[in-house]
Amino acid sequence: MHLIPLSAANEEICKLLKATKVPYILIYKRSEGEVARFACPPSKMQLLIDALHEHASPLNDDLLPMSLSEEPTIEPLMEDDSIESTLMKGSEMMDALMP
């Protein structure tokens, strides 16, 4: 998961991703590509939960990289990160989760 901070420098990324409002969620599934995209303010958090339930594959406990009590790491996007490097980091994370 990547958090892209709001700044003038990231305006181009938002346009590229067609993120019209923030926070904006894009969900990708390895076998299908993009499966969902939507604005998700805190009052609409149930939209995110429902989308994750709809598109998530069942987990095999042997593949979990961390205990369920650990918090996942959310890395902020750095000013010098390109969208390509961000996507590569996401792919590497998914490879680690689902070899």
Please determine, for residue 35, whether its predicted confidence score (pLDDT) is greater than 70.
yes
Q: Give the sign of the dihedral formed by CA 56, CA 60, CA 61, CA 62.
A: negative
pLDDT for the residue numbered 5: 65
Give the largest CA-CA distance in the chain: 42
Please determine, for residue 71, whether its predicted confidence score (pLDDT) is greater than 70.
no
Helix and strand numbers (H, E) in the chain are: 3, 4
pLDDT for the residue numbered 87: 75
Q: What are phi and psi of 7, to 5 degrees?
A: -165, 165
User: What's the average model confidence in pLDDT over 15-27?
Assistant: 78
Q: What are the residue boundaries of the structural domains of the chain, listed by start? A: 6-58+73-97
The chain-wide mean pLDDT, for the chain, equals: 73
The total of other beta-carbon atoms located within 10 Å of residue 3's CB is 9
pLDDT for the residue numbered 22: 73
For the chain, the straight-line distance linking the first and the last C-alpha, in angstroms and rounded, comes to 17
